[in-house]
Structure 1
Amino acid sequence: MTFRLRAAHIADLEQLYEMAKLTGGGFTNLPADRAALTRKLERAEEAFGRAYDELGDDQFTLVLENTETGQVRGTCQLFSQVGQQWPFYSYRLNTLTQHSQELDRTVRAELLSLVTDLEGCSEVGGLFLHPAERAGGFGLLLARSRYLFIAMHRARFADRILAELRGVIDDRGGSPFWDGVAGRFFGMTFQEADYFNAINGNQFIADLMPKHPVYVAMLNEEAKKVIGVPHPTGRAAMRMLENEGFAAEGYVDIFDGGPTMTARTDQVRSVRKSGPARIASTELDIGERALIATGTLDSFRSAYGMREIGPDGSIAIDALCARTLEVGEGDEVWSVAR
């Protein structure tokens, strides 16, 4: 079987909808709602079709396709700037230190402050892989292909980038963090709030959420334990982000308390170490394993392959990768070592 990542289109709606039903909740960027997914795909097609090569308010959706069957088996998204349609809220975990001379005692209190510090950043998100394909390294292909897309369209993305990881969800599909913090003010379950956010955005948080800092010491133990902790299925994704140069800097999601990781875009490993080259040969037998991509905007596609960089800066790739990407000698590709 051969797989490649490509731009998503409206025709992918039903397959994306079927995958969305497998996410298990807490996955705002892939709601199990046909109307919401249709709007996302329409917005993506608009982004892919925008002619001006500059920073805008774009959402790009990519899908993992089995080239033999045409099945869509995964998806991921990129946002050029968050917080443009409505504020992008996070909680920032920080410490307040106070000292009493009379008691000769210093007290340090952890606070959760509602902030919009990350507005204007680019975001990588919405990564979901069909459960049947989770043993083939395709999660890495989905994740790192986003950075190749950014490198190949650098002017369309901001200088800082973030990734939100899903927080801890209990066996009921609820969130201990939501129950201990925001849920006290909204009269909504986590699932209700999460679904509403996926469909309508989080402006209701701005309308109803108290703006004062929350003292962590006043939360119940269940909420405290999950602040900044990723969902168990997201631990591998967190390691991949760390390998790319992302770091947790105290920002957590306002719904489930999952960590928000950030990096300077040009310092992301797969952006920094990727580059273009002209294909000199498509008959490589043995070479370095790599992620290889080609195309612009809606013609973008990427796949695993083998490469060998020549002394003149040209590249040789294997025949299977060339067929998967539909490229030949003289075509330009971007690549980064796997």
Structure 2
Amino acid sequence: MMYVRPCLLSDLEALEQLAYDSPVGLTSLPEDRDRLIRRLQCSVESFAKEVIEPTDEEYLFALIDADTDRVVGVSGILACAGRHEPYFNFRLDKHYVFSPNLNQRHVQDRLILCADNNGKSVFSGFFIADKFSTKASINLLAQARILYMASYPERFCDEVIVEFVGVTNNQAESPFWNALGKAFFAMEYDQAEHYCGTLSKSFVGELMPPQPIYTALLSRDAQAVIGCHDKCFDDLLAAALSEGFSNTPYVDVFDAGPCFSCKKHELKSFRSSSVDGANAGESYLICGGDGLAFRCTLIDKNIGLYHVPTTNRRYLVQESLP
């Protein structure tokens, strides 16, 4: 049986292992002990903090195998992007040109560096160890953080975004980075992603040109992966789409992975959840508890109620057992 709780400082070694096992492009889960310690400390403080409106809080959730009490997955929510440094993306844009002399009209795709997603909440750092990565565990971890958001809406922005790791080749290289990033950053893709996860992201704005970049000037391999995701995240993407997330014109600046967006109150698990469990049915998610006492788990008629605090309980009926 699985359940979700906030990450604790004692989870450091488990998070280090998950970071080591995770894909290169998952910058919100860096292979850096000091950075992970800071993220854990920020999360613990964020859960305990009295919040009127979202600022620089970050919440990390651990997926727990109840049989062993082992941390087997992690996910996060950044309460408000761009509070201390810009949250950069490329915005896909179309430039329309016309030549009366030649009587020719063209549409040119281009990428524009922007910080349009500042002021939005961000779902981040989602990873589950391969042995435990099933559709059921993915749905539990994904829905648990939405139920937390529904329980404490004042802690989050009106709009939520989620980015997916872009496509890499057999050598774990990004065709997009090789065609574009290397021209402006003297480093390989994995090093750039590491810096993004461990240093201030301001270096992106310092070195990436502010002028539009026309995609026709990139290699065909690079053009082909713009807005595409790593297939290992197919199940997580399916879960996001089922919640109501839709694609946006924004992509990651390093690997051109896609960015999806949804209004907080329009997330399916947010609007479908209820504080009244009278009609919870035979299969439902239940969450409860303040601060670090927050817990979320799946209940069905064959499983007794796993201990979930009674404070701020919220229920979400499952259409069918995963």
TM range (shorter): over 0.9
Q: Distance in 2 between matches of 1:126 and 1:163?
A: 10
TM-score after normalising by structure 2: 0.94
**1:146-201 Cα shifts (integer Å, max 9, x gaps):** 11010001001001110010101211121111111122111110011111111113
* Matching residue of 1:269: 268
Query: Once structures 1 and 2 are overlaid, which stretch shifts more, 157-166 or 295-304?
Result: 295-304
Code of the residue aligned with 2:127 in structure 1: it is: F
Q: Does 1:240 align with 2:239?
A: yes
| Alignment partner of 1:336 is 2:319 | no
Q: Taking every aligned residue pair, what percent have the same amino acid on both sides? A: 28
Tell me, which stretches of 5 or more residues in structure 2 are unaligned?
none
**Secondary structure of 2:275's match?**
strand
| Runs (4+) off by over 3 Å | 318-321
Q: How far apart, in 2, do the equivalents of 1:295 and 1:40 lie?
A: 22
CA distance in 1, matches of 2:309, 2:312: 11
Aligned position for 1:309: none
Give 1:134 deviation, angstroms.
Answer: 1.6
Q: Deviations over 1:265-304 (max 9, x none)?
A: 1111111111212679xxx9xx432221111232111011
Q: Does 1:301 align with 2:290?
A: no
CA positional deviation for 1:46 = 1.2
Is the Cα–Cα contact under 8 Å of residues 10 and 41 in structure 1 kept in the other structure? yes
| Paired residues of 2:287 and 2:308 also in contact (CA < 8 A) | yes
CA RMSD of aligned residues (A): 1.7
Q: Contact between 2:151 and 2:312, CA under 8 Å: does it hold in 1?
A: no
Question: Take 2:42 and 2:168, find their aligned partners in 1: how far apart are those partners?
Answer: 29
Distance verdict in 2 for CA 1:20–1:208, change over 3 Å: same
Aligned residues: 318
Q: Counterpart in 2 of 1:288?
A: 282
> AA paired with 2:308?
L
Confirm whether residue 322 of structure 1 aligns to residue 314 of structure 2.
no
Counterparts of 1:298 and 1:101, CA distance in 2: 66
The letter for the 2-side match of 1:32 is E
Q: Is the radius of gyration larger for structure 1 or structure 2?
A: 1
Kindly state the Cα deviation for residue 236 of structure 1 after the two structures are TM-superposed: 2.1
Partner of residue 27, structure 1? 26
Superimposed CA distance per residue, residues 1-35 of structure 1 (whole angstroms, 9 cap, x where no aligned partner): x2110010100000111111111311111112211
- TM-score, normalised on structure 1? 0.90
What is the aligned partner in structure 2 of residue 11 from structure 1?
10
The residue type equivalent to 1:260 in the other structure is C
